[in-house]
Structure 1
């Protein structure tokens, strides 16, 4: 710190520091903020108060929730909005898959009609019929998640290259992630299997044996609504991907006005004088490979 301009010009109106505070147990952060903020009025003149409040942020939130901080100089920060966006897209894709499965299951119900009808005639209860469809959905969902994990492992190097992350295989197989996968599997099984299970379990046995399945208006409207919702989400996702692709293509081909390769930047905030800066500049200019230099 003492090599920088901040360390050489310490005064109360200079708050350009990353400050980490270890609080005692049972300390109220709000009271710490209140007392720290009171120091501003005590030591900084009113006309020099370009900031008016000190506030604390939990260490666990620093990485994802610091991008909106004023005068934030960190180069290592995530964005909680990106995480929420990716989560929303994942949720939307899973919902589309569930709806697609429900529509296909009900469309396939004609083939399963006799099988379900025979089960009912032989004494199967409604709950047993529902359980049968839930089991079928659970098996398909489990296989799908397994394939998804395999695809994630295969795509991991490409994913790391695209977003610039350093995710490794052990990061994917933590207890927390496995718990999330188990929860997703359970939700998909309940959501995806509910519609065909209730539809088939509530159809009279005689209709099932005759392969004559009539659905009420509510069921028909629900199915049509699911189809519309599914296609609407798909269209929104496709349009979003096209727009983002065009934006990234525009950014990658945008003329910046200079060649970004073979350029090195060196911070000079700790240089004590212009004479010293001039000497450093002349020394760098003499280095082999230096084409030009500017400050």
Structure 2
């Protein structure tokens, strides 16, 4: 039987750990037999999970011998990683185990060196920090999960469910995974390439461009070009581009698009304006341009975003 080892450690996020236990523990083969043997493994018998104490039946040697290893997230990214756990993860990967992380569990995989030269994702709020700490990792901050074959990573807590179901589907087919999804009352299909829902705040600037950014925000509904921006800032277009990149890390037009998309997200959440009117009200030249830029940044169409987040 396929053995799934779920790592437990002080500060483990209980939801992430329970996600793996529920998905793999509920999976049944067509005849009704369990699809997996699931083991909770830890360096010590008792694990401090913050709001509760967990008793782990298995030690870390079960991680080394498992077919699949799941690493949940940690509540404190500043806490040092467990050296014995990192060694166990390396040994498990070396002997051919499939290793996967949920949410910020990706930091432990990266610390173990298992993500070097690979694509990976994590919770969007921690993606920049993962990239900073581990430059050898290609961080895909917008994706629900990334499957690199023997190493898989997922975004926030709900994306951990998507990833675990994806692995069940890989192992035993869509019918088995569909039964687990039905028992968990969640959709089977949310592809890994789907974007995380991120609030797209444009980068701020505290230097000489701050007045220009305020002007752009106030006039974003207008048809504004680089010449207009340069004139407002009283500099040449070339100087504007150089200063903008230095102070915000992006280009003027990209900043303006991010601002417009963020405003559109707010209107989609709080108003009943038709999608075309939302595009017009946020400064996009056409409904097609609005839909294209919105999906490019958010990962779903404006209509799909409204269905998910509308407060009306």
TM-score band, normalised by shorter chain = under 0.3
RCO greater where, 1 or 2, for CA within 8 Å and sep 6 or more? 1
TM-score, with length taken from structure 1: 0.21
Say which one has the larger Rg: 1
